[in-house]
Amino acid sequence: MNKLVVMKFGGTSVEDATAIRRTASIVKGRHDKGLTPIVVVSAMAKVTDQLLAAAAAAGRGDRAGALAITARMRCRHVETATALVSAEAIPALTQWLESEFCFLDEILRGLSAVGELTPRISDMVVSMGERLSSRMIADAFSHAGLDSVHVDSRASIVTDAQHGKAVPQDALIEQRLKEHVLPHASAGRTVVMGGFIGSSMDSAPDKLITTTLGRGGSDFTAALVGGGIDAAAIEIWTDVNGIMTTDPRIVPEALRVKTISFEEAAELAYFGAKVLHPATILPAVKKNIPVFVLNSRNPENEGTRIISLAPHCRSPFKSIALKRRLTIIDVVASRMLMSHGYLRAIFEVFDRHKCAVDMVSTSEVSVSLTVDSNEKLPEIAADLSKLADVKYEGRKALICMVGENIRGQNGIAARVFDAIRHVNVRMISQGASEINMSFMVEEDEAEEAIRSLHAAFFNDPDPDIFDIETAPATAASAKGAN
């Protein structure tokens, strides 16, 4: 059997018939190189947002509004499908699409009558994007001359029953992939699967209870499949040339990072670099599978290679990530801070509300934490106020600078803060990680801070790590993305 490669294509890579034909050409290219691709696809661009809007409308009783959204989606999918397959294949594919949209409309009608959008129903609705695109793309691949087969991801991606952000069950996934995917791959067929979706391990084989892995979960699906089948590589195809030194919308001259370590990529993904989902890295790390971030609109570009141990870089940093819309919460209790169990009590509040904490700083009398701004903040503050005095401030941003052995470089903090001496820094985290220096600033000062930092630390880039030969073209192609 040829080497297996998992190829994930995001929503912009399958947004219309032109993009899907381009994707088919890229997949053919992997076959020509003697590889057997397993393709994981997202929903068509914007479809997930439209499905969420339809579910929300139905949940508040707006049946007509919900059905109007799905009617537009139905037209888009049918028009795309008829442009992709042969005349003989159109009736069967459009009939299948019609039946799926009828099923979706029935769910929305029932939801509007009941008026309660449960997490389970939300997963059932929002999963339709990947279920529709994966079947349609499998048929398009067949028309393009590929021996392709559609496999329902829910048969293989087994999760717990935590709807909205389900936890994959690795051992069961590996077992199911051997049953449902590997036989096709062994025969040289191109398997097409939908990303983002799975099914509860309590599901009966003939009645799958649909779950989802959270927004951006198609990357995670690709990594789970790659790890489960011991793939030779995992390729994340998007609409940018790879991981950049920062967001090109902020710094147009941002450079492509050629090679980066798993650990560095994970930090960047968690702290705001949207080109990669944070959970993508873990399955690849476990099996030491290289991950490539590539551009479906520029497939000749080498992209970014993510490996266990990246080569040494003479520059202290590889990339700067930005995470917006954060809130700083200050918890002040002069008599309680050092008492036994006090910090545990604080973090139990965040655990109870399922709210992740990004950064923590402690002083003699206070604890400061940063969290994503969300509607639960008043409830979190109310619970914390039972322990101490609480105040919180929104409209903050976290800047994360990632590079190798930051903690061991003398004077690096002085250089960083000298570069942004005109910006008010609210919180600092250095030393907790060898590869990450993070700090909080006002949200409206964040972009200016990043421009200053990029000018200070990427004015003499290491050519072994950064793409300096095609920097202007790279920046232009990635502008508006990432």
Mean pLDDT (10-residue bins), the chain, 482 residues: 91 96 97 95 96 96 97 97 95 96 97 93 96 97 96 96 93 96 96 96 82 89 95 93 92 94 86 72 87 94 91 90 92 69 88 88 83 84 90 92 82 91 88 81 96 94 87 40 34
Q: Which two tokens stand for residue 242?
A: 């790879």
The terminus-to-terminus CA distance of the chain in angstroms comes to 35
pLDDT for res 1: 63
Q: How many CB atoms lie within 10 A of CB 229?
A: 22
Strand order in the sheet with 3-9: 148-150, 190-194, 35-41, 3-9, 233-238, 291-295, 304-307, 259-261
Distance between CA atoms of residues 31 and 26, nearest Å: 9
Q: What is the helix (H) or strand (E) element at residue 5, kind and residue range? A: strand 3-9
pLDDT for res 272: 66
Q: Which two tokens stand for residue 395?
A: 């409209």
Half-sphere exposure of 417 (CA within 13 A, CB side): 15
Q: Give the fold, CATH level 3, of 3-238.
A: Carbamate kinase (3.40.1160)
pLDDT for res 458: 94
The β-bridge partners of 108 are none
pLDDT for res 320: 95
pLDDT for res 479: 34
β strands within 195-318, DSSP E: 197-200, 210-212, 233-238, 256-257, 259-261, 291-295, 304-307
Polymer length of the chain: 482
pLDDT for res 409: 77
**Residue 394 φ then ψ, to 5°:** -95, -170
- pTM of the predicted protein model: 0.88
**Domain residue extents for the chain:** 3-238, 319-457
CB 65 within 8 A of CB 108: no
pLDDT for res 427: 87
Q: Are strands 319-332 and 366-372 parallel, antiparallel or unpaired?
A: antiparallel
Q: Give the fold, CATH level 3, of 319-457.
A: VC0802-like (3.30.2130)
Buried/exposed 400-411: b ≥16 CB within 10 Å, e otherwise: bbbbbebeeeee
CB 259 within 8 A of CB 248: no
pLDDT for res 315: 86
Distance between CA atoms of residues 350 and 337, nearest Å: 17
The β-bridge partners of 366 are 332
